[in-house]
Amino acid sequence: MSVIISPASVAEAPARPLSPLAQHVADGLRREPKTLSSMYFYDDAGSRLFQQIMALPEYYPTRTELAIFREQGAAIVAALGGAGDPADFSLVELGAGDGAKTKVLLRELLAVNPAVTYAPVDISAGAMSGLVQTLSRELPALRVVPVVETYAEALRQLRTRPGRKAVLFLGSNIGNFGPAEQLDFLRQLAEPLGPDDRLLIGFDLRKDPRRIRAAYDDAQGVTAAFNLNLLTRLNRELGADFDLAHWQHYTDYNPLNGAVRSFLVSTRAQHVHLAALNENVEFGPWEAIHTENSYKFSLPQIEALAAQVGLRIAEVFSDAAGDFADVVLAARPVGC
């Protein structure tokens, strides 16, 4: 079905500029197929639901990466260069969240480098405030320099950060980007790196397709609630009237390209009014909104991605089952 978005009333068009969320929704629901970004999952309710997802038996990535840090933390810190000159080493984390996994590495770092600086980056001032308070209580000796910025601004600031640095991007968040976006983001990460700097990126590895799909469509329905909460947010913040009784969560996994894709599917023909946009959006029966990608990787694929942006694999830390890999990347020497 073609996309139909019609003004509810031209005379009542909003005079003020649209919020970033409203502009994103306006653009995304005009596309064919309709698309919304997973970055908007994380309001307060969405963040609570994701905490529940991470504890689900089907959802292996969080606990697997945490186990890697607990079992191999000292080796990871050494690979990042954290045990070198204590006066000039910074650990920068993009999308720090609650820092639960990172605190394992920070304890290892403090044991060998008490002067380390931790620079967590998050766009949410509230989340950052909570993290800083937790760290001051649990790791009072740690020097914390929080950065409340977008990734783009944080990457710009990285270019001027003095001394050696290690940049973390954990949780296989790299998989939320499409293939072209993965390369673009890795280029942005690689650009400010000096020869002694390192990246640590979490990659969810390819495995039994049934296990992967179950991780994004759990038996308790928590992931479905997480996806549907996006519509609840639009109802609240944009004055939309999505009727959640006529929407359902659907996810699939393609083992050929490693892509998990999640959707919100309209179970009947319906139109939705969005007051903040002063528009109506028509949905056909079983029409879908694409809400998330989560790509899975092989080690040769990671090596090829790194090479395309001038990086090399320095070390790979994985669990015994080969479900997940935390990969340390470094800049390739000039001429290589």
In tens, the pLDDT along 43-89 reads 889 988 998 999 999 999 999 999 999 999 999 999 998 876 656 88
Q: Are 226 and 59 in contact (CB under 8 A)?
A: no
> Domain check: are 226 and 126 in the same one?
no
Please check whether residue 336 lies inside any domain of the structure. Answer: no
- CA neighbor of 200 nearest in space, from 333, 314, 61, 329: 329
The alpha carbons of the chain give a radius of gyration, in whole angstroms, of 21
Give me 101's structure tokens: 């996994």
> Domain check: are 117 and 219 in the same one?
no
Q: CATH no. for residue 307? A: 3.40.50.150
Please check whether residue 229 lies inside any domain of the structure. Answer: yes
> Domain check: are 182 and 222 in the same one?
no
DSSP 114-172: TT-EEEEE-S-HHHHHHHHHHHHHH-TT-EE--B-S-HHHHHHHHTT--SEEEEEE-TT
DSSP state of 240: B
Please check whether residue 287 lies inside any domain of the structure. Answer: yes
> Domain check: are 250 and 276 in the same one?
yes
Backbone dihedral angles phi then psi of residue 256, each to the nearest 5 degrees: -75, -40
Residues 161-187 as b or e (16 or more Cβ within 10 Å = b): beebbbbbbbbbbbbbbeeeebeebbe
List residues bridging with 82 in a β-sheet: none
Domain count across the chain: 2
> Domain check: are 66 and 123 in the same one?
yes
> Domain check: are 94 and 189 in the same one?
yes
Distance CA 167, CA 155 (A): 10
* DSSP alpha helix (H) spans, the chain: 20-28, 44-54, 61-80, 102-112, 125-138, 151-158, 179-190, 209-215, 222-238, 299-308
Give me 82's structure tokens: 């954290």
- CA neighbor of 92 nearest in space, from 172, 189, 9: 189
Q: Does residue 278 come out as left (phi exceeding 0), alpha (psi in the -120 to 50 range) or beta? A: left
Q: 253: domain range?
A: 5-56+211-295
> Domain check: are 186 and 322 in the same one?
yes
> Domain check: are 191 and 95 in the same one?
yes
Distance CA 178, CA 8 (A): 34
Q: Are 5 and 34 in contact (CB under 8 A)?
A: no
Q: pLDDT tens for the chain, 336 residues: list them.
A: 434 444 444 445 445 788 999 999 999 999 999 999 998 998 889 988 998 999 999 999 999 999 999 999 999 999 998 876 656 889 999 988 788 899 999 999 999 998 899 999 887 777 788 889 999 999 999 999 998 888 888 888 877 777 889 999 999 999 999 999 999 999 999 998 889 999 999 999 999 999 999 999 999 999 999 999 999 999 999 999 999 999 999 999 999 999 999 999 999 999 999 999 999 999 999 999 999 999 999 999 999 999 999 999 999 999 999 999 999 999 987 665
DSSP 59-81: --HHHHHHHHHHHHHHHHHHHHT
**What sign for the dihedral angle of Cα 24, 25, 28, 31?**
negative
Distance CA 336, CA 333 (A): 6
> Domain check: are 37 and 164 in the same one?
no
> Domain check: are 189 and 129 in the same one?
yes
> Domain check: are 141 and 152 in the same one?
yes
> Domain check: are 139 and 191 in the same one?
yes
